[in-house]
Structure formats: C-alpha cells, structure tokens
Chain A
Amino acid sequence: MSHEQTGYEFGELPIDPIEPGTSVFVAGPALSPAEDLARSMVAHGTSSGEGALFISTNMTCKTLLQSCERSDPGVDATRMGIIDCSGQDIGNAQLDAEVKYVSTQSDLTGIGMKFSALYESLYPAVRDGRVRTGLISLSSLSMYVDMRALFQFVQTLSGRIDSADGLGVFAIDPTTHDTKTVNTLSQAADGRIEVREPEEGDDEGELRVRGLPNQPNGWQSFTLA
C-alpha cells in the first residue's frame, strides 16, 4: 500500500494527474455539471483496471451506474462498489457493481463501516490496489447531520483514502452552505476543483483547480462524453 504509485489520470478532462492519497472537493452550484464531473473523475479509472467506490446520497445505485455509463461508455461496473444511501428500494436489480445499502443518510456509522468493508473488498481485485472514492454529495448529507459530525466524517474518509494511497472526490454545492461551513469542511481535503457553467459556447462546463500542485492555471473548458 505504501509503494510508489503514479498519479490518478482523467482522460480528456483538463486535469493533470493527481497524486495518490489526495482528496479534493468538486464544488459547483446545482445547475452546474459539478456532480457529473465528480462521477466521471471517479468512474474513469475502471476502464484501466482501477476500482471506483461511490457513496451515493441522492441517486439509487442503478441510476448512478446509468449516469456513469452515459458519461463514459468504457466504464467497467465490475470494478465498482456503491453505498446506496438514497433510501429508495430498487428491488432485486441485477447489477455488476457490488452494492451495500444504508437506509438513511443520518447513519454515518453505517456509511463509514460499509465504506471500509467495500474498500477492502475492492482493493485486492483492482490494479495495484488503486481505488477512487466519490462522495456525491456532501451537501445532501449536510441536511441530515450537523456540520461538526459531517466534518469528522469527511476527515476520517480522507484519512482512510490517504493511508491507502487512493483518490477522494467529494462533491459539494457551495451555494447551499454558508462560508464558514464550506471553509471548515474544505480543511478535510487537499484541494478544490471549482465548476461553473460556460460563459459561451457548446462546452459542458468550466473548471478551475485550486490548492493542488502541477495543475493548469485559470478556468478550463471541459466536455463529458
């Protein structure tokens, strides 16, 4: 787990490889493609043998998988794990991904334990133990738990990702929180990717990377497939 690894790559997205052990916030308002970008950053690695582990708060596991496949047809669901906290029962859906259910988003203990168990299950099955984690979204969780509990949860999550040389991608809608909350939560991550709608043109959105080394400067246009 501690051997030297190369950075996590993101295909056509204007984000240079991110060092293993890093956690980033992907921040954008509800109408921006921030959550789509976060999903894509996590799912992208499965096409090259890496694992993807999602904590999904507002999408069922089935919808999440469909969304990932729509953005990137090369996604390999057999290397994916999903903790479905949407609270919606989808019956006996036969999915390639390994799924665990948590009945309510307020059960941080359950989410944390199932995350750990899924991580352990994915780790030996993927290339070099490389697992990307997506928490989509923090803003949704914040409606169920107080900010201090949420901070503790995210900090614990990013600590686990750090110790396993993984990658953490946490989606947040900063317009739904006050500045103090965003600033405090941000301290649990190493950097932030800001997302906005494009000012003009056909691109899906624009992103800007803050707080991470060796990244492009300023706003960059991006399109999800």
Chain B
Amino acid sequence: MTYRILCVDPDEGDRTEAVERLREELADLDPVFQTADDLASATEALTQHTAVVVTEYDLPDGNGFQVIEQANERCPDAGVILYTDTDPDLIDTAELRGAVTEYVGKDSVFGTERLAELVRTTVEERTQSSYPLPQTEDERLAALHSYDLDEPALLDSLDRITDLAAEHFDVEQASINIISEHSQDFLACYGRAEQWESMDREDSICTFTILEEDNVMTVPDVTEDPRFESRSETLIEMGIRSYMGANLVAPSGLVIGPLCVYDTEPRSFSAADEAYLQKLAATAMDLIDLHGRLDATTEGKG
C-alpha cells in the first residue's frame, strides 16, 4: 500500500525540513510526498488516495482549516494534522468545530519526531476515520483483492441473486456491495440501485454491517439510528429508509461485503428474513469463490 502525504507550508525551509524528517522517520512505510505552499495548490493536490495532510495554519490565500475542509470533502478518510507556529489559544476553532484535527506545535519539545509518530499512527491505525474498522481489516482487504470481480459471467450470476432478493422481500432496490479501503462499490444491483455509483465508505451503511459478529444487520429506520441519522437525508433520497444486509463471508472467514435489500419505508425484518438473506449471501459468496477457483484451474491448464 502506498501512503500519500501532503505537506502544506508557505515557508519553503520549514516545508522541506518537515518532508525530509518524515521521509527519514517513516522510511519503512516508503510514503509518497506531495508539497504545497498555499490553499489553492493544496486543494489541487488532494485526491481520494491522500492518506495524511500536514498543514501550517497561516497560508497566503487562506488558512489550514480551509485545507482541512477541502480534505474532508475530497478524501474523507485522510488524517489531518495542524503543524504550526500559531498558538492554539489564538486560533478560532468555531469555524471547524465539528471536525477533528491533530495539533503539533512546531516549537514542540518533540519536534518532528512527534509529528512522525502521529503520521505513522494516523496512516497505520486510521485513527481519524469516522467509522470503526474490523480488527482484521488488512487481511480482509487482501481477501477481497484476491478475487477477480470484473468477470461478466460472474456479474450476471450475482445480478440474478439481487433479483431474487428484491422479489422475495418485495423491495425496489437490492445490491451486492464490496467494501474497499476507502469506498463502497456496487457489484450487482437491482432496480434504481443500478444507477448508483461508488460512494465514500464513511457514508455507507454496509461499512457497519461488515463488523457484525452474526454477519447480518438490520436498520428499521435510518432516521432513528444514531449511526446514520446525520446522513439520513442523502440515504432517503437514494430510496433507503430501511435496510437489511447479510455478509458475504469468504472461506477464510473474512468478509468482502454484504448483500443488501432497501425499502423506501420504515420496516422491521424478522429472524426468518435475516436467515433467508444470509442464505442468498452465502450462495453469492460460493459463486464468487468458485469462479475464482475455476479461473485458477483454467490458467493452470493454459
């Protein structure tokens, strides 16, 4: 995995020193560094793959909080660290009060060593993400990436499973989703879900489903659930008022994503409903796994 670190500082000497020290202290992570000297160039440099933003507060065309706002927009999973000369007591935090940022003083007794430790913890543990991660997240992602999920014949089969789920539960939308490092992607869809595009993981319900020990999760009403109520407006616009998801569990026991059904109205799901969706999810996983094995056998013979 490549970690992209963006360092924003109008002072060329400070910027170069920070990058050089971080490069030295984090050599084992082999990160890629980008630099910017103002808000505009920092905004341009931000991508979905930015892992950490280290920014000064005072910038010629704005301030560090505006960089952080842009980062929250463009790379919501990125960690942000204010690395500044400015006294925290003199910074008006009202404009950014809902967001979380780390602060390291440039004149800190720990200097760049502390900054490097924080950057390391932030990228390795994803400590600033707004959702919990499975304890086996690295292994889970490796299991996900071990499958070829672009094969048309496989996708046709999975589409039939979402059709069956939608018919059984009498809903207008169903999908099989995979949870990647930063996003939720739709593998197979039924109904309006066919128009959905990849979404940020922090906005996804399924990123919570993959944490469930019994591999199934129901949300009777997104407006009543503390995990999703702040995002419920967007979810309702997508036709998601209630939700049930059952995990696709690989033979290794790791979850690659769930099979989900969505209703436009509040709705409760019974234990029998949960069991049925889990059976369909297990069938979908079998199909993915068997296609993978078939490919391996064919390649072996070729």
Q: A: which residues have CB within 8 A of B?
A: 1-2, 100, 104, 106-110, 112-114, 116-117, 120, 123-124, 145-149, 151-153, 155-156, 158-160, 162-164, 177-178, 180-181, 184, 187-188
Contacts and interface: CB of A to CB of B under 8 A. Distances in A.
Given A107-B97, A108-B98, A178-B226, A113 B88 contact: yes
Contacts of B65: 109
B89 interface: yes
Contacts, number: 120
The listed residue with most A CB atoms (<10 A of its CB), out of B88, B102, B104, B110, is B88
B128 A155 contact: yes
A151 B127 contact: no
A108 B128 CA distance: 13
Interface string B40-61: 0000000000000000000000
Given A107-B93, A113-B93, A151-B131, A159 B121 contact: yes
A160 B110 contact: no
> Which 9 pairs across A and B sit closest by C-beta, in order of nearness?
A159-B127, A110-B93, A187-B132, A116-B103, A163-B121, A113-B103, A147-B226, A107-B97, A109-B93
A184 B82 contact: no
Nearest to B65: A109
B272 interface: no
21 contacts: A1-B114, A109-B65, A113-B93, A116-B88, A117-B88, A123-B110, A124-B109, A145-B98, A146-B226, A147-B226, A147-B230, A148-B202, A149-B98, A152-B100, A152-B128, A158-B127, A159-B121, A159-B122, A159-B128, A181-B226, A187-B132
A148 B97 contact: no
Contacts of A116: 88, 102-104
- Classify the secondary structure of A's interface with B: helix
Nearest to B117: A163
B94 interface: yes
Contacts of B211: 187
A109 B100 contact: yes
B73 to A, nearest CB: 16
A163 B118 contact: yes
B102 A120 contact: no
B94 A107 contact: yes
A155 B126 CA distance: 9
Contacts of A149: 98-100, 130
User: For chain B, which range describes its interface: under 10, 10 to 19, 20 to 34, or 35 or more residues?
Assistant: 35 or more
Interface of B: 65, 82, 88-89, 91, 93-94, 96-105, 108-110, 113-114, 117-118, 120-122, 125, 127-132, 202, 208, 211, 225-227, 229-230
A110 B89 CA distance: 9
The listed residue with most B CB atoms (<10 A of its CB), out of A109, A184, A187, is A109
B129 A152 contact: yes
A125 B55 CA distance: 27
A117 B105 contact: yes
A153 B100 contact: yes
Contacts of B127: 155-156, 158-160, 162
A163 B109 CA distance: 16
Nearest to B211: A187
A184 B227 contact: yes
Nearest to A112: B100
B226 A109 contact: no
Contact of B132 (A124, A151, A153, A162): A151
Contacts of A180: 225-227
Contacts of A124: 109
A149 B130 CA distance: 7
Nearest to B68: A109
A156 B88 contact: no
Given A148-B230, A160-B121, A109 B102 contact: no
